[in-house]
Amino acid sequence: MQRSDFTGESTDLERPSVARMYDYFLGGSHNFAVDREAARQIMAVAPDAPMIAHANRAFLRRAVRFLVESGVRQFLDIGSGIPTVGNVHEIAQRLAPECRVMYVDIDPVAVAYSREILAGNDRAGIIQEDLRQPERILNHPDVRKLLDFRQPIAVMIVAVLHFIPDSDDPAGIVATLRDAIPPGSFLALSQVNEEGREEEADQVKSVYHNTDSSLHPRTRAELARFFAGFDLVEPGVVWAPEWRPETPDQVDDMTAVVCGVGRLP
């Protein structure tokens, strides 16, 4: 396996990356053989894994449109992953060109690709940081330069929390972010749920155990608790296709992702 301009010496090319696996599920090309092999192992157990990834991505698109329509002009997308068509800045700035978007990801390949895509866009940027260290994100000079914390901000943590074990206090992480943003801000979350898929989930988790992040599914009630201090917007915490679908047939799609959006009063 050869290194590209986007893989520094610190990038582990022998271990699957969940960001690059997600890119593969979405049909992207920013992944390596080791990522594709791990993704195929998951698809052998859960053939609908790509559909689940697309359902989650569709939730992100609908959530961004809702947030822009609600007057939000600033986004902090943590765990943004490998850039693919339909990024937050593309959706938001198409609707309101003045929108500012700061991406955050721990994966160096995701950060490198994003920097190339965002070159020349002075209203969007990316930093390499870890969700488990929210103070570093909030105090990063690039974040403070781009985003005005006196004005509403939409914090997006989409398909990331299931890689944060309870031992790392995900509720505390979200609370730290909540306490840093002003009233009128929003929080958008999505997370893998294993309801009705318990046997399958055990096998999927065993694959993720050998990647750079283990998998920790949670129930709807557990995800809802992360919205403490926020007012959940309709329809609350639901399966991804059920969150403000654009067409009725979207609700019929099976999924394994629960999601929601909350507003800080």
CA separation for the pair 14, 141 (Å, rounded) = 33
Q: Is residue 157 in some structural domain?
A: yes
CB 187 within 8 A of CB 174: yes
CB 65 within 8 A of CB 243: no
What is the pLDDT, as a whole number, of residue 197? 87
Q: Is residue 209 in some structural domain?
A: no
Q: Is residue 70 in some structural domain?
A: yes
Q: Is residue 2 in some structural domain?
A: no
Q: What is the mean pLDDT of the chain?
A: 92
Flag the least confident range among 23-27, 139-143, 245-249, 261-265. Answer: 245-249
- H/E/C letters for each residue in 117-165? HHCCCCCEEEEECCCCCHHHHHCCHHHHHHCCCCCCCEEEEECCHHHCC
CB 74 within 8 A of CB 148: yes
Q: Is residue 6 in some structural domain?
A: no
- Number of domains making up the chain: 1
Which residue, among 224, 129, 130, has the nearest Cα to 168 in the 3D structure?
130
Q: Is residue 22 in some structural domain?
A: no
CATH no. for residue 242? 3.40.50.150
Q: Is residue 124 in some structural domain?
A: yes
Q: Is residue 77 in some structural domain?
A: yes
**Rounded mean pLDDT, 121-147:** 98
Other Cβ atoms less than 10 A from the Cβ of 245: the count is: 18
Task: Give tens-digit pLDDT for 61-89.
Answer: 999 999 999 999 999 999 999 877 789 99
**What is the domain extent for residue 171?**
50-197+214-263
Q: What is the pTM of this model?
A: 0.92
Other Cβ atoms less than 10 A from the Cβ of 65: the count is: 16
